[in-house]
Homo-oligomer: A and B are copies of this chain.
């Protein structure tokens, strides 16, 4: 049944940062970690989905976006008609201090950005 709100849709809810297990699971997947890296490099602003992944299908990427969102690592927004993801740096840092920055640093040492 289509509710189709006439005013505005909050789209997808932003969830609280999950516990350490769920966050580590989310970051442990190479594709998801790469998404997080690109979001981080984008400076914390909303980034269009299409810029965040390579080598997997759209449906797979969408699944990973959902996983990251459910872990509270990202949130979704819509900018000029296209779906964007944003890394919730401050919220994650507050909930799980030091983890995100340490993981991003380690990933950069493994495979430096370009």
Footprint of B on A, CB under 8 Å? 19-21, 24-25, 27-30, 33, 96-99, 101-103, 105-107, 110
Contact = CB atoms under 8 A, between A and B. Distances in A.
B28 A24 contact: yes
A97 B103 CA distance: 9
A33 to B, nearest CB: 7
B110 A103 contact: no
Contacts of A19: 110
18 contacts: A19-B110, A20-B33, A20-B103, A20-B106, A21-B28, A21-B29, A21-B30, A21-B33, A24-B24, A24-B33, A25-B25, A25-B28, A96-B106, A98-B105, A99-B102, A99-B103, A99-B106, A102-B102
Contacts of A110: 19-20
Contacts of A20: 33, 103, 106-107, 110
